[in-house]
Amino acid sequence: MTAILDPRAKLSVVFCLTSLAIVIQDLVLFAGLLAATVGASLVLGGDWRVLYRLRRLAGLFVALVVIQSVFGGNGQPLLQVGQLSLLTVGGLQRGLALALRIVVIVLASSILLRESSRRLVQALIQWHIPYEIAFMVHLAIRFLPLLQEEMQDAFVALQLRGVDLQTLAWRQKLQVYSFLFMPVLAGVIGKARELSIAMEMKAFRAVPERTSHFQLQLQPLDYAVMMGSLSVFVFGILLVFWI
């Protein structure tokens, strides 16, 4: 299904799920939204490897729960040191809601990871979004892997010089990262400059509108997915106001 589905249908699903993740505050509704997001990701071929990368944020989630409990201060205390509540029911609920919000947004966005960037840009253009903005989205999709490659090359160069980051202290790691930041940034800026020159050579923004030989066509299945996602969005908004 994911191979034949129009990118506009996938964008509609992602927009509805992420919008509901921002609006919803109730944990019961979040559980239902998470189930819907998991189902949509399974059907539409989402990349589940992004959840494995979120394991590094587990400490951040715990810290957010503690911060919400300390500064929010509402609800029954569950863990208290003197007069300071390190964990309360309200803080735990808000922390879990924030963690679920991040998981839903990341998992919903993973639906687009395996989609061609060319098709995504064309979908935005056919949605009558200015092609400058669509091209900026395309550049963001292309430059994130490029930045990752630059960082990997810098780490490989360090390893070839005998530097083992795993054995360094945190202060030394921060110092090494500060040394790597400028070369990586300079490499990315150099590639961006080359790209801007190529865009000027091809008369980018010379005309207010551009034509494209590649065109996307919505099929009945695409309309069904878009209407279904819109129905879920409206139903979720009604539940939020009702609760």
Q: How far is it, in rounded angstroms, from Cα 147 to Cα 186?
A: 11
Ranges of beta strands (E only) in 44-189 are 77-81, 84-88
Would you tell me how many other CB atoms lie within 10 Å of the CB of residue 30?
Answer: 20
pLDDT for 54-102, tens place per residue? 676 677 777 776 676 666 656 666 666 666 666 677 777 777 788 888 8
Residues 44 and 13 sit within 8 Å (Cβ to Cβ)? yes
Q: How far is it, in rounded angstroms, from Cα 140 to Cα 152?
A: 18
pTM above 0.95, yes or no: no
pLDDT for 193-206, tens place per residue? 888 888 888 787 77
Residues 100 and 69 sit within 8 Å (Cβ to Cβ)? no
Find residue 81's DSSP bridge partners: 84
How confident is the model at residue 16, as a pLDDT?
92
pLDDT for 142-181, tens place per residue? 776 677 777 777 777 777 777 776 777 777 777 777 777 7
Integer CA distances (angstroms), 217 to 66, 126, 129, 220, 243, in order? 50, 10, 17, 10, 39
The answer, yes or no, to whether residue 30 has pLDDT greater than 90, is no
